[in-house]
Structure 1
Amino acid sequence: MKVTFVVKTIPRKIGGGPLIIFKLANFLASKGYDVNILVVKPDMWARAHLPEVFRKLLVRLSVKLRPKWIELDSRIKKNVVFSDEERVEISDAIIATAVDTAEFVYNLPDINGKKYYLIQDYENWVLPDSKVQNTYGFGMTNITVSKWLSSIVDKYSLSQSINISNGIDTSIFYLRKKLTERPPHSIVFQYRSNYSKGGKYAINVAKRVYELYDDVEINVISNEKRPSDFPEYFNFYQNISQEEVATINNNSTLFLCTSVDEGFGLPGLEAMACGCVVVSTDYTGVHEYAIDKYNALLSPVCDVNALVTNIQTVFENEELKQNLSKNGINTGYDSSFENVAKRFEKIIHK
């Protein structure tokens, strides 16, 4: 069976959405599927103002060499089309993976394969709300990674979406070091500068906590360069592997998430599986795995004071800290990516 994942680009840096796509591709390839990643109408190198023939050469070279942050199965093929007129190979299943690939897949002739739409977030930062909503009504089989996304998608789709949830690699993200063996006042968070991730709030929270606990250890993971205004006491880790992320998680007591809005939030679930106590904002996607006072402490979005208070609560209440960590580990264990991939395979194999 031939399966094609349609993407807009293959990013240089790791991101949650692309990670899930490439892991699904690897899983299917390991099961003997003929897997292709098709990059459609990429805007890579567009700002370099190069002659188009040279830009296309650079794009093809970039697609060939990327991604470097995950190892793709050697059997997976990668191709590029630069216009709607170029021929697309026939597949049994062809999958739009984001709002900016949905229309391309929708417009393909039916002979190109059964059409699916993998929806990992409500991407109204890419297209206006009305256009995002229109893509849900294209008539493709809509597959979501969260229940709240399904509730939105189903308002505009021709048939009910299928929720596969999201999952983590439990062979990487698992408990390696007990909480009692970690620095008691230690925090890890993942920094992104875009507003939806709430990076500025994480910085403010961390600074406030540093004023309260002069022995606090603050670990920051990012795929961006270290901002010039970051305090020296922030331990900054750029473009590190998933294994290194798991190691830092296992050396931190608490995971801080300050997201304003996102579809799921894999880093928090990964941290849970490693035994970190999750202190997070109450953004929509976090409810796919976090339950307040059971496996996490949640507080209103953008509320720095509430986040600081919850961190203090964790640091000062040993029994609560241990209970939140234990329940979080169980949540992570039950959220294996392999189970998600099997559900995805079952859908496209019908």
Structure 2
Amino acid sequence: MKAAFLTSPKIIEIRETPDPKIIKDNQVKVRVRSVGICGSDAHFYWDGRLAGWVVEEPLILGHESAGDVVEVGKGVKKFKVGDRVAVEPGIPCRQCEWCKRGEYHLCPDMVFYAVPGVHGAFADYVMSEEDFVFPLPQSVSYEEGALMEPLSVAVEAMKLGNLQLGDSVAILGAGTIGLLCAQAALVGGATEIFVSDVNPMKLEFVKRYSKNRITTIDAGKTNVLEEIMKLTKNRGVDKTFETAGTFETFHLAPMITRRGGRVTLVGIPPFKEYPYRASDLFDRTVTLNAVYRYANDYPISIRLVEKKLVDLKSIVTHRFSLEEIQKGLEVVATRSDNVIKALMNR
């Protein structure tokens, strides 16, 4: 099969490599049709590392994928050749304390696409297991299927953030995850949503797709803390979702959250120490939690899209072929050409 290998920072090579082979009875082989280009892919491409992971050997990136079933293990009951599916990119051990709690995203032995040691989906085929492959309704496209992965992050954020009917919400960052968090918050019953970003184009996009149900704040021109306090009559919001992963937004998040409110960290920061003053949390009893992937959220995400409660098509701005994937990674890594969400399609 053809696959795109990251061989060193900023270098992608398209190579022929052996097809993955079914070696377990519960495995499902999928012909890749669409893959999202994630910010984590861009970090690996640009720097050769992300958080504690370092790319030391050629790696196939891409973990947001959908396609067609082309082969199944003899124990597979739910799928047949030709089925259209979304592929959840992580396979847990199923045996540890966290897996048994249903919190399999915390499994210390998780095998996850496109982190060093595990190849991803910028290729002709991927291999998964039956319980981490999900059928796509006929009304849901391959592109939407690929984007079930970032939507599942947003769904997990709403669950962890304990979103309640009538909540006021701030979302710091209007990238893919921020935009999906905004849509998920609307579906979840938030009645007042503020989205801030330094990119005016992204904020205009928010206004268009939200039909003015969301208030945007240009963080490049406006003091976000002062603006949110003014708009909430100095109360702050019930729930804040930090999705940008910057020093400034991490620091800001608890300051715009009301007494007894909750901050949920979703963005992956490039720094190791979090920039909080203890008083920002203790004085107002702000609860702080962080999202790490998701668990049991793909079925929810698929239903949201099938029922047209969430619009994934609207966030796709760029499409690339496998042969163009280096260009796609470059665009996402440099945030150029007004990119919001880019895909690799086969």
TM-score (norm 2): 0.32
- The structure where helix makes up a greater share of residues is 1
Q: Which has the larger radius of gyration?
A: 1
TM-score (norm 1): 0.32
Q: Which has the higher contact order (CA 8 A, sep 6+)?
A: 2
